[in-house]
């Protein structure tokens, strides 16, 4: 059974094998990589979870899927223009990711998109082939414009997109100063809104883009500067993760109308750039719920192509080349965050029940009765009785009539009763409304060695859902309802919302953790935006990384091409101005004083200073290596 919905949200990229291990299918053919094997190999070279596994071939595969979908749509619609993609670097700036996409995309006409000066520097350096396409978005100062024009001078196809009215003046000025004719684009502020969490990227109050009257002003400026012919592209972006295909259709039609009007005014526009927004179905429900999308990749491509063609046909204007800036859809699937469960916090105690004596407090006797006589009353009545008695025990404690030990016994009995009620209800098959949340109430907390703030920022900040599943034991039925908590000292550091077909689930059903054996969970589809946006809360920082590739000549083979160590403590402390040598000096002074005062023996002093020094060099996350014997 597919408990974790891998077949739903996996998009064909993930599945469980016969032995219950999660496998990735990086190339869309029969070849697969078992993720536990990757973890084992990484551990042999000293890298432990928390860890990001990047499945590099999946990047190539996604580029090919996107280009293939547009190629089919263009052929199907007999569309006259071509399709090109640009990868927005902001979605994942890691060099290995950008290079892989560039290499896979180059033969298909793909290029890069930059949204800031640092990203432009990356894009320029990586656009190594003549004619490489480079779209320049974001706020631009004169240096940004000069850099972009450097690309033009080197023979790259650089398009500077005017996003603010004032940018037109700045671009004209710099271009005239250095005598280079730029290629220009205009970002439109469409009336058509996106749908989903990021829908405020368009509409009247959007931060970017030009309104109709601003477009007209910019056109006049271009005409005055004899740059009307430089206008090669119009662009819109209605927000990331657009959940509803209707929003995309509306925006495409509106932008295509702009294109036709501008062509009629004589501007030789070549590209209609439909921006990003192509979604990822994080929950596999194929709905217009926030974490999903109600369309497929081929449907998206067909709708873009069809609607542009229709508008152009009506206006009798030649069809433009289509450009898209899909980021999330290209990179989200390629990375998996691996977490190790290091502890569990359970409410229901294990072990024998307390014994009843003559002196046992009446509240405890009553609770024991409710627990043991499970058939005499309805489960709802037992629940109410337990609630009443627990409240009574708390009140007796507050007023000094019940000691700490007996109050603890009362609390434990309360949880045992709730657990017993839950099991009876499951057997009966009928759950009264008031008891529907019992599973959530009784859920355990699985403590995982990671930081939500570093690795899943959008989950904390925006409530974005990511699919979570164990990486092994999938042939075993999971029995424990749990939420996941991280190791930051912050109660927000948790995952208590999980993807589900129908609704968001407050808990995830997991396997009981076996003593001495590790239990690994994967958080999937985290390759877009999460890497770079993470923060240093509690100073945990970047996690370890392994980059895996398929081994060509073996059916289930892979090799780890690269590993990147997560932050060590001294690296992270350095970022906030603590120098290792200074901390060591301060610590040594304190230990020397303790030795002088004879509160610490000299030999012990040396040992303590070594411990401090070792831990400065160690990784920031919990070191669980001594407590686990084997991985399977």
Query: Which residues form the interface with ligand PLP (CB under 6 A)?
Result: 88, 91, 137, 237, 240-241, 275-278, 325-329, 528
**Could you tell me if 445 and 482 are in contact, meaning their C-beta atoms sit under 8 angstroms apart?**
yes
- CA proximity to 524, closest of 282, 347, 166: 282
Q: Mark out the alpha helices in 141-204 (DSSP H runs).
A: 142-153, 165-178
User: In whole angstroms, how close is the CB of 485 to ligand PLP at the nearest point?
Assistant: 29
User: In whole angstroms, how close is the CB of 338 to ligand PLP at the nearest point?
Assistant: 24
User: In whole angstroms, how close is the CB of 453 to ligand PLP at the nearest point?
Assistant: 21
User: In whole angstroms, how close is the CB of 294 to ligand PLP at the nearest point?
Assistant: 16
Query: Please, which residue, 276 or 522, has the CB nearer to ligand PLP?
Result: 276
CA 562 from chain centre, in angstroms, equals: 21
Query: Please, which residue, 325 or 531, has the CB nearer to ligand PLP?
Result: 325
User: In whole angstroms, how close is the CB of 277 to ligand PLP at the nearest point?
Assistant: 5
User: In whole angstroms, how close is the CB of 489 to ligand PLP at the nearest point?
Assistant: 32
> From the candidates 136, 260, 448, 489, which is the catalytic residue?
489
Query: Please, which residue, 48 or 237, has the CB nearer to ligand PLP?
Result: 237
- CA proximity to 198, closest of 287, 293, 101, 262: 293
Pull the structure tokens for residue 464: 């974005």
User: In whole angstroms, how close is the CB of 478 to ligand PLP at the nearest point?
Assistant: 33
Q: Residue 625 half-sphere exposure, CB side, CA atoms within 13 Å?
A: 9
Query: Please, which residue, 163 or 340, has the CB nearer to ligand PLP?
Result: 163
Query: Please, which residue, 414 or 529, has the CB nearer to ligand PLP?
Result: 529
Q: How many CB atoms lie within 10 A of CB 388?
A: 14
User: In whole angstroms, how close is the CB of 183 to ligand PLP at the nearest point?
Assistant: 17
Query: Please, which residue, 275 or 534, has the CB nearer to ligand PLP?
Result: 275
Query: Please, which residue, 275 or 522, has the CB nearer to ligand PLP?
Result: 275
The secondary structure element, H or E, covering residue 256 is: helix 245-264
Rounded alpha-carbon distances, angstroms, from residue 519 to 109, 446, 469, 626: 43, 10, 11, 15
Residues belonging to the chain? 632
Cβ-Cβ contacts under 8 Å for 483 (sequence gap 6 or more)? 443, 444, 445, 446, 494, 495, 496, 506, 507, 508
What does the H/E/C string look like for 266-303?
A: CCCCCEEECCCCCCCCCCCCCCCCCCCCCCCHHHHHHH
Active site residue 489: yes
CA 16 from chain centre, in angstroms, equals: 21
Peptide bond preceding 50 in cis form (omega within 30 of 0): yes
Burial 489-503 (b: 16+ CB within 10 A, else e): eeeebbbbbbbbeee
Backbone φ and ψ of 88, nearest 5°: -75, 115
Cα gap 149→73, rounded to integer Å: 34
- CA proximity to 158, closest of 138, 185, 177, 187: 185
**Could you tell me if 560 and 41 are in contact, meaning their C-beta atoms sit under 8 angstroms apart?**
yes
Cα gap 590→592, rounded to integer Å: 5
CA 133 from chain centre, in angstroms, equals: 28
Residue 481 carries which DSSP code?
Answer: E
Query: Please, which residue, 137 or 464, has the CB nearer to ligand PLP?
Result: 137
CA 450 from chain centre, in angstroms, equals: 14
User: In whole angstroms, how close is the CB of 142 to ligand PLP at the nearest point?
Assistant: 21
User: In whole angstroms, how close is the CB of 61 to ligand PLP at the nearest point?
Assistant: 17
Give the residue numbers annotated as catalytic, written as ranges. Answer: 489
């Amino acid at each position: 059974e597919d408990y974790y919905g891998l077949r739903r949200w996996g998009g064909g990229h993930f599945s469980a094998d016969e032995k219950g291990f999660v496998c990735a299918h990086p190339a869309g053919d029969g070849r697969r990589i078992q993720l536990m094997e990757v973890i084992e190999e990484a551990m042999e070279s000293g890298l432990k979870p928390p860890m990001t596994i990047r499945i590099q071939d999946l990047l190539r595969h996604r580029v090919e899927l996107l280009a293939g979908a547009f190629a089919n749509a263009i052929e199907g619609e007999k569309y006259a223009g071509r399709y090109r993609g640009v990868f927005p670097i902001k979605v994942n700036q890691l060099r290995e990711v950008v290079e892989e996409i560039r290499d896979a995309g180059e033969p298909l006409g793909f290029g890069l998109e930059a949204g800031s000066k640092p990203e432009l520097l990356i894009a320029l350096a990586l656009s190594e082939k003549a004619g490489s396409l480079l779209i320049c978005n974001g706020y631009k100062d004169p240096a940004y414009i000069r850099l972009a024009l450097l690309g033009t001078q080197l023979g790259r196809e650089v398009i500077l997109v005017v996003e603010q009215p004032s940018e037109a003046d700045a671009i004209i000025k710099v271009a005239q100063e250095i005598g280079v004719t730029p290629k220009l684009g205009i970002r439109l502020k469409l009336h058509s809104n996106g749908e989903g969490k990021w829908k405020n990227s368009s509409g009247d109050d959007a931060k970017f883009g030009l309104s109709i009257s601003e477009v007209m002003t910019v056109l006049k400026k271009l005409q005055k500067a004899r740059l009307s012919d430089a206008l090669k592209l119009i662009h819109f972006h209605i927000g990331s993760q657009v959940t509803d295909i209707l929003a995309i259709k509306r925006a495409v039609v509106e932008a295509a109308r702009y294109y036709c009007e501008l062509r009629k005014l004589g501007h030789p526009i070549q590209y209609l750039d439909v921006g990003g927004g192509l979604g990822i179905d994080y929950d596999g429900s194929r709905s217009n719920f926030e974490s999903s999308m109600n369309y497929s990749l081929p449907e998206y491509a067909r709708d873009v192509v069809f609607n542009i063609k229709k508008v152009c046909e009506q206006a009798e204007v030649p069809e433009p080349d289509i450009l898209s800036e899909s980021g999330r859809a290209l990179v989200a699937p390629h990375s998996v965050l691996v977490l190790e469960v290091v502890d569990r916090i359970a409410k229901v105690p294990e072990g024998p029940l307390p014994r009843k004596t003559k002196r046992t407090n009446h509240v405890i006797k009553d609770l024991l009765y409710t627990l043991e006589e499970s058939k005499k009353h309805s489960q709802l009545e037992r629940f109410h009785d337990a609630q009443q008695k627990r409240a009574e025990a708390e009140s007796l404690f507050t007023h000094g009539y019940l000691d700490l030990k007996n109050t603890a016994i009362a609390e434990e009995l309360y949880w045992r009763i709730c657990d017993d009620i839950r099991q009876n209800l499951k057997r009966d098959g009928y759950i009264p409304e008031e008891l529907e949340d019992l599973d959530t109430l009784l859920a355990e907390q699985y403590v995982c060695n990671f930081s939500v703030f570093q690795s899943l920022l959008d989950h904390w900040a925006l409530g974005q859902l990511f699919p979570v599943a164990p990486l092994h034991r999938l042939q075993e039925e999971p029995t424990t309802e749990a939420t996941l908590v991280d190791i930051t000292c912050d109660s927000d550091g948790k995952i208590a919302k999980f993807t589900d077909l129908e609704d968001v689930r407050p808990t995830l059903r997991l396997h009981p953790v076996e003593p001495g054996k590790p239990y690994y969970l994967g958080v999937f589809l985290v390759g877009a935006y999460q890497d770079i946006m993470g923060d240093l809360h509690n100073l945990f920082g970047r996690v370890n990384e392994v980059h895996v590739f398929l081994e060509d000549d073996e059916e289930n083979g892979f090799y780890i091409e690269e590993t990147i160590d997560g932050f060590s403590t001294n690296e992270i402390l350095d970022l906030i101005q603590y120098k290792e040598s200074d901390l060591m000096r301060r610590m040594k002074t304190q230990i020397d004083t303790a030795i002088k005062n004879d509160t610490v023996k000299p030999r012990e002093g040396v040992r303590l200073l070594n411990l401090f020094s070792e831990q400065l060099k160690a990784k920031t996350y919990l070191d669980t290596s001594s407590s686990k014997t084997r991985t399977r």
